[in-house]
């Protein structure tokens, strides 16, 4: 059933690209995918839920490809970050997610709007954690601002570049330019100690908007480290310990989890420290609510 549902998601993605989300009816989907109305509603409660499933499936694949670029590489490498951003931009263009996103954005569906907001904030969080890798903890105070500014620069430049040149092949130039500008701006704001948004928003207001961190999020982060990092047996046991503490114990022992996470942050084996920081965020939020 899972494979069949995934097949329907992929076919519906093709149809939405061809006809547009708004112009596609449920009957169009049934005819194109070859499923019955009963099967459709067994899989999805609405056309909007189907569209959200398309985005979830696409972004899961994109994140896997993006994070794979860090395997065996230093998270402090600005060139690796550029490759990750370029991969993400190219993925969005290849799968025409931008045009589908625009249709979601103008929709009156409140559930779709909430989904969009959550996705936007998740992207801000990823950039923020990668900026910590690139610029260091000593500049954390300015990196939420820089994350939001970077995404704005990248989005607008990508949009006008592709419109003017009718091609995304040379999007490398846009990414290169955007990253160079944000490096300069980060240096400037750090020197002047200028801050608009506090990074504490990552753990408070933004997390409130995203909703409570779920068991699926914890599992995903732990699996991501185990699958994409070349780690020792001891480090693997630490990851398993963290997952078991958070998912299986009624009252997770925060001090032990913190100690394990700090040990993993110091190891050279794990390139993507952002996953460790995200796990720490979950631990701290959970402890503050208990």
Tens of pLDDT along the chain (290 residues) come to: 578 899 999 999 999 988 888 888 999 999 999 999 999 999 999 888 998 899 888 888 888 888 888 877 888 899 999 999 999 888 888 877 777 777 776 777 777 777 888 888 888 888 998 898 899 888 988 999 999 999 999 988 888 887 777 654 578 889 999 999 999 999 999 898 888 888 777 655 555 544 444 577 788 888 888 877 788 888 888 998 888 888 777 677 787 888 888 888 888 777 767 788 878 877 776 654 44
56 SS3 class: helix
DSSP state of 286: H
- Which residues are CB-neighbours of 99 under 8 A, at least 6 positions away? 17, 20
Helices (H), 166-289: 171-192, 205-210, 215-228, 233-248, 254-266, 273-289
Distance (Å, whole) CA 161 – CA 168: 8
Tokens of 235: 């480090």
Distance (Å, whole) CA 289 – CA 250: 14
In the numeric block, the tokens 């006809």 are attached to 19
- Residue 214's φ and ψ, nearest 5 degrees, are -100, 170
First-to-last CA distance in the chain?
38
What distances in angstroms separate CA 65 from CA 70, 100, 180, one per listed residue? 10, 21, 23
Spatial contact of 121 and 60, defined as CB atoms under 8 Å apart: no
């Amino acid at each position: 059933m899972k494979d069949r549902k995934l097949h329907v998601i992929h076919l519906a993605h093709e149809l939405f690209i061809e006809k547009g989300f708004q112009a596609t009816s449920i009957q169009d989907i049934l005819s194109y995918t070859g499923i019955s109305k009963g099967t459709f509603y067994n899989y999805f409660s609405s056309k909007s839920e189907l569209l959200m499933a398309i985005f979830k499936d696409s972004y899961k694949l994109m994140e896997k490809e993006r994070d794979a670029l860090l395997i065996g590489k230093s998270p402090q490498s600005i060139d690796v970050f550029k490759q990750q951003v370029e991969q993400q931009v190219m993925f969005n263009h290849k799968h025409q997610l931008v045009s589908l996103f625009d249709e979601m954005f103008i929709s009156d569906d409140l559930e779709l709007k909430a989904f969009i907001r959550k996705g936007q904030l998740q992207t801000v969080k990823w950039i923020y954690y990668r900026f910590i890798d690139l610029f260091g903890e000593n500049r954390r105070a300015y990196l939420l601002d820089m994350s939001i500014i970077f995404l704005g620069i990248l989005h607008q430049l990508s949009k006008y570049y592709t419109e003017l040149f009718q091609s995304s092949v040379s999007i490398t130039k846009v990414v290169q330019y955007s990253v160079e500008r944000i490096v300069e701006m980060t240096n400037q704001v750090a020197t002047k100690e200028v801050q608009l948004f506090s990074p504490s928003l990552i753990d408070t207001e933004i997390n409130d908007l995203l909703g409570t961190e779920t068991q699926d999020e914890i599992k995903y982060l732990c699996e991501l480290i185990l699958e994409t990092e070349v780690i020792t047996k001891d480090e693997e046991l630490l990851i398993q310990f963290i997952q078991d503490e958070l998912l299986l114990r009624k009252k997770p022992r925060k001090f032990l989890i913190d100690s394990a996470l700090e040990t993993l942050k110091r190891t050279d084996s794990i390139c993507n420290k952002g996953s460790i920081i995200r796990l720490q965020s979950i631990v701290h939020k959970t402890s503050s609510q208990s």
